[in-house]
Structure 1
Amino acid sequence: MHITRRRPDTRQGPAENFTGTVWLDEIAAPAAPSRLRMFNVHFAPGAHTAWHRHPHGQVLHVLEGEGLVQRRGGEVEEIRAGDTVWIEPDEWHWHGAGPRTFMTHLAVVEAAADGTTVDWGRHVRADGRPVSARPA
């Protein structure tokens, strides 16, 4: 057993992967052989991820606020505190806060054998339409 009492500093989500203000807190990144990664992600109103996918899928558990999530080809769906979202492996998707509220969720992923946890694509508007020419 290992108890973590000090965590890495909170860091801002990079502009190439997020629209708006997003803060990331690493919760868990255990040593090998574990490939688990967990983050507490804080989205300001209207902030969201770019399109992205995870090699082994992703679990999102909304802790507070209201948000939006969309998988490629699907409708934009509302999510609220207490909701848990399972995103399939390699499913392109985006998620973030609703337009009027903050949203915080736990994000849990499993890294691939090479350590990769995410493949980023282009930015989107909150309706899922692309806003840049980045490939995805």
Structure 2
Amino acid sequence: MNLNQSIPAILVIVFLLMPAFQAMAQTDSDEHYNMTSILPEGNEVSGGNFTGTVWVNMIVLPEDNLNTNGGKVKFEPKARSNWHSHPGGQILIVTDGTGYHQIEGKPIQVIREGDVIKVPADAKHWHGASHEHSMTHTAIGPNLDRGGAQWAGPVTDEEYDSIR
């Protein structure tokens, strides 16, 4: 094959690969490019709306204009959230460990890696690690236009220990 025969083939390949080259050239200055990482452990939060040692890495924030928020939350053994509700509901995706989840008036559920918990809108609930193991989940708060989390009081030791 001589050079004159190769040029049309090369042009076809370049034409077919052009979208890939354009995507690779995309930079942070592109207004549609927004990326964060779920890998860092995040910031330790103590007191406030949690009991025990909890780490939070917010990965989707209200200012991202997606009508949702989300974060990776790691609970050390026995750590847990306070009772709370979400006007738009909440989705919990357990990515590591073993923990507990409870909707007010219902029994505590054991939750494990791979479980997806779909908390209905306005359901008062809590979630956290088990007595012996840490638990990490991704928490997604959809429908932020309905409002953010409504926090209530702590889960008492008696409530938490009732699973034993």
Counterpart residue number, 2:150: 119
Distance 1:59 1:127, change over 3 A: farther
2:118 aligned to which of 80, 86, 93: 86
Gaps of 5+ in 1: 130-136
**Greater relative CO, 1 or 2 (CA 8 Å, sep 6+):** 1
Matched-pair contact (CA < 8 Å) for 2:36–2:59: no
TM-score by length of 1: 0.83
TM-superposed deviation, 1:9:
8.7
Higher helix share: 2
Gaps of 5+ in 2: 1-31
Counterpart residue number, 2:25: none
- Of all paired residues, the percent bearing the same amino acid is 33
Task: Map 1:95-106 to 2 at 5 A.
Answer: 95-106=127-138
Matched-pair contact (CA < 8 Å) for 1:70–1:128: no
TM-superposed deviation, 1:111:
4.9
Task: Map 1:39-118 to 2 at 5 A.
Answer: 39-113=71-145, 116-118=147-149
Matched residues, number: 128
Pairwise CA RMSD of aligned residues? 2.3
Q: Which AA in structure 2 matches 1:124?
A: V
The structure with the larger Rg is: 2
Q: Which AA in structure 1 matches 2:54?
A: V
Counterpart residue number, 1:132: none
Matched-pair contact (CA < 8 Å) for 2:41–2:55: no
Deviations 1:39-96 (A, max 9, x none): 0000000000000000100000000000000000000110000000000000000000
Matched-pair contact (CA < 8 Å) for 1:55–1:89: yes
Higher strand share: 1
TM-superposed deviation, 1:119:
0.5
Matched-pair contact (CA < 8 Å) for 1:50–1:122: yes
Distance 2:121 2:99 in 1: 21
TM-superposed deviation, 1:28:
1.4
